[in-house]
Structure 1
Amino acid sequence: MNANQPTTAILETKKHFEILDGLRGIAAFAVVVFHFMEWIFTDPSQNFIGHGFLAVDFFFCLSGFVIGYAYDDRIANMGLRNFFISRIIRLHPLVVAGSVLGLLAFLFDPFGGHLELYSTGKIILTFICSLFLIPFPVIADRGFNLFSFNAPAWSLFWEYIANIAYALVLYKIRRNLLVVITLISAVAICYVGYNSGNLLGGWSGPTFWDGCARISYSFLAGLLIYRSNWIIKNKLGFGGLTILLLLAFIMPFSDWNWISEPLVVLLYFPLLISLGAGAILKPGLKKACVFSGKISYPLYMTHYAVLWMFGNYYTNYKPDTTQLTFIVITSVFLLVGFAYVVMVFYDIPLRNYLNIKRKEKLARQ
């Protein structure tokens, strides 16, 4: 780093768009509910939140907007190395936590599993790949997920790829070129929807490249919204935008998914980002939005270990509707509580420690 380069350019944080933070938490909550429901309703048309998986595309679009806002005006001064360190400190502690939880769930699941089918070496290798976000879809009992011990990590893999692309190329390109590659990515989304019949893929080996299409368009669209200042002033507030976001997740399944889902991703989610950035937040809801935003990533990255155990329990014991309702509702709230504990006692302290050490190192340079 240049000796004259201010460390504040590297370590500074900007004000948050609180409503967008709050919507991120709503989307994470929807993902958790969706993951429970997809075990119960193998026919998505019967699932009241059958499009909950589209929350990932909302995350991607929001990420593009936030990365542009946070780094466009300072990444050149930071340099690539410091940018990547910033992103690793922000994202990777929970990648590790999710991997550890997933391994423990795999080894000690009280409701099922077939450990005898897997050698110790394969389990260790799968765990190492999970820790370092190296796709390794080899565990049949985990649905051949790219990351068998923490299924949602597939989206983090693509988030890292998007961050690398941003640091190497995207932050430097002009808006006109950004528009062109965003439109090309939109074509890719439409192709995936038409070819697969939906946009559910990306999490497994056979659907790997569907994930590439999903991150490409949504991240670029979010970046384009920021650079174009497509911020729509409105009075919908957090409540109104929450309703609009949830509508995307509960829209019915149909034979037209290959059209409806791309339309949501291509147009509706970017519109919600623009509205969320320009909405007025009532003071009484600020704490709720801040909490929702903070808990979103820990909840997303720690909940799936329980989902595998729930799936084995449901498959083996077939609980009735009353039991299921109690189990799912209780589990969702307990998972939020657990995510809070992980955030407060692990994620935040570890990130603070790493940032302090980093600040000390920068000060010596």
Structure 2
Amino acid sequence: MGYMSRHRFEVLDALRGVASAFVLFFHVERDTRFATYYFQSGYLAVDFFFMLSGFVIACSYEEKLLDGLPLRSFFVTRVIRLYPLVLVASCLGLLAWHLNGNVEPYWFAIFLSQVLVLPFWPSALSIFRLDGAEWSLFFEMAVNLAYAATIRWLSDGIVWLVIVVSAIALVAAARIHYSVELGWGPANFWWGVPRTTFSFFAGVMLWRLWQSERLPRIERHWTIVACGLAAIFLAAGSLGIVLRWAGDLFVVFFVFPLVVWVAAGSRMGGRFAGLGTALGALSYPVYILHGPLRSLLAPVLGPPSQQGLWSILAVIGFVWLASYVLLKYYDEPVRAFLKKRREAFKSRFGTA
């Protein structure tokens, strides 16, 4: 484990930043009249996030869980990592609703479900009305807990079985819905299960293969890997609706695992290593906050459907700037405080 502990996977961090940018561009382009169609497959970034999550969670926790780390400790760690920005995103979403004059008879139930990261079913739209991105966080937490709870039975054979069964289900889902953009709404919610489990457990298996050195590692310059990932999203977006489902599956099944593998073996040296870490740190705030932040600007810039190029650029700049400010002056301090209080509680009571 000596090499693993020194390897920071800066390129994987950087790719999280690239992927979060494509999610932002995807939603901006879909909702505005300035459509280039270059980013219409940006939803695939979520599948990339799931795969990265499997790789990173296995890297960080698999050995600890096997050595006896309690499930509650793992859960609390994940909550501290993810929840502070969930709370802010929910409050910003509610504020945006108020500013945009939206009236919902069940607004408190919607807000409460959003805060608890639970789907709100009485909706024909997104199951997370105040911040649509939370649908993937719900599945992320579910698969994280399932993995941690069953780790002692997750042999390589079982993980491969989960991957294969999930892949078969995802093929069926993609064929029915013409893409893998699934899990975010009531009509396709349950298809989010194979979408999540395939990519997450593929990431877990990639980590195991990496750790055991069963496959040769591939190293490329980080700019090639980052540009390659961007090119993949752009190329996938160029497919028509008839071919999109097949293109989505090809990218998720074959291209993303290769990208993760190459990125894991590649390095960012010198000052660029800090850039990779910074992009990785900013990726989650951009992803979870971009919906509510965009909605907050609607009273000033007009509805998204009426926004032109300069308004779109202003929205993108505002999202990145606000995400950075909230990361540095809210999220990181709050997480540091919670970790400190947790350690104090553990030292006093001897529990997690």
Could you tell me the TM-score, scaled by structure 1's length? 0.87
When residues 79 and 256 of structure 1 are mapped into structure 2, their CA distance, relative to the original with a 3 A threshold, is same
Contact 1:232 1:279 (C-alpha < 8 Å) held by counterparts: no
Contact 2:175 2:245 (C-alpha < 8 Å) held by counterparts: yes
Contact 1:231 1:278 (C-alpha < 8 Å) held by counterparts: no
Is 1:290 matched up with 2:277?
yes
Q: How does 1:237-248 map to 2 (within 5 A)?
A: 237-248=221-232
Give the CA deviation at 1:78.
Answer: 1.6
Give the CA deviation at 1:91.
Answer: 1.0
When residues 314 and 256 of structure 1 are mapped into structure 2, their CA distance, relative to the original with a 3 A threshold, is farther
Is 1:272 matched up with 2:254?
no
Identify the residue that residue 37 of structure 1 maps to in structure 2. 29
Is 1:199 matched up with 2:199?
no
Partners of 1:288 and 1:73 in 2: CA distance: 29
SS of the residue corresponding to residue 133 of structure 1 reads coil
Give the CA deviation at 1:58.
Answer: 0.1
Is 1:89 matched up with 2:75?
no
SS of the residue corresponding to residue 303 of structure 1 reads helix
Q: How does 1:175-214 map to 2 (within 5 A)?
A: 175-214=156-195
Contact 2:179 2:245 (C-alpha < 8 Å) held by counterparts: yes
Partners of 2:218 and 2:162 in 1: CA distance: 29
Partners of 1:265 and 1:284 in 2: CA distance: 31
Contact 1:14 1:70 (C-alpha < 8 Å) held by counterparts: no
Runs of 5+ unmatched residues, structure 1: 1-12
Residue identity (%): 29
Contact 2:59 2:207 (C-alpha < 8 Å) held by counterparts: yes
Identify the residue that residue 224 of structure 1 maps to in structure 2. 205
Runs of 5+ unmatched residues, structure 2: none
Contact 1:64 1:221 (C-alpha < 8 Å) held by counterparts: yes
Partners of 2:296 and 2:91 in 1: CA distance: 15
SS of the residue corresponding to residue 217 of structure 1 reads helix
When residues 292 and 197 of structure 1 are mapped into structure 2, their CA distance, relative to the original with a 3 A threshold, is same
Q: How does 1:1-365 map to 2 (within 5 A)?
A: 16-40=8-32, 47-75=37-65, 76-109=67-100, 113-115=101-103, 118-119=104-105, 122-138=106-122, 144-170=125-151, 172-229=153-210, 233-251=217-235, 252-254=238-240, 255-308=242-295, 315=303, 318-319=306-307, 324-364=308-348, 365=350
Give the CA deviation at 1:128.
Answer: 0.4
Which AA in structure 2 matches 1:211? G
Identify the residue that residue 7 of structure 1 maps to in structure 2. none
When residues 362 and 318 of structure 1 are mapped into structure 2, their CA distance, relative to the original with a 3 A threshold, is closer
Contact 2:163 2:198 (C-alpha < 8 Å) held by counterparts: yes
Give the CA deviation at 1:132.
Answer: 0.3
What CA deviation, in whole Å up to 9, does each residue of 1:217-237 have, x standing for no partner? Answer: 000100010112267534422
Contact 1:232 1:278 (C-alpha < 8 Å) held by counterparts: no
What CA deviation, in whole Å up to 9, does each residue of 1:325-357 have, x standing for no partner? Answer: 211122212211101111111111111111111
Partners of 1:317 and 1:187 in 2: CA distance: 37
Partners of 1:89 and 1:233 in 2: CA distance: 33
Partners of 2:21 and 2:229 in 1: CA distance: 12
Give the CA deviation at 1:316.
Answer: 8.0
Partners of 1:188 and 1:159 in 2: CA distance: 18
Contact 2:297 2:315 (C-alpha < 8 Å) held by counterparts: no
Partners of 2:305 and 2:151 in 1: CA distance: 50
User: Number of residues paired by the alignment?
Assistant: 337
Give the CA deviation at 1:63.
Answer: 0.2
Which AA in structure 1 matches 2:195? R
What CA deviation, in whole Å up to 9, does each residue of 1:273-326 have, x standing for no partner? Answer: 11110013232311110110111111111110133456786658735xxxx221
Partners of 1:334 and 1:267 in 2: CA distance: 35
Which AA in structure 2 matches 1:78? L
Which AA in structure 2 matches 1:63? S
Contact 1:136 1:147 (C-alpha < 8 Å) held by counterparts: yes
Contact 2:62 2:151 (C-alpha < 8 Å) held by counterparts: no
SS of the residue corresponding to residue 276 of structure 1 reads helix
Partners of 2:201 and 2:316 in 1: CA distance: 32
Contact 2:289 2:323 (C-alpha < 8 Å) held by counterparts: yes
Partners of 2:292 and 2:155 in 1: CA distance: 42
When residues 311 and 215 of structure 1 are mapped into structure 2, their CA distance, relative to the original with a 3 A threshold, is farther
Contact 1:24 1:59 (C-alpha < 8 Å) held by counterparts: yes
Give the CA deviation at 1:52.
Answer: 0.4
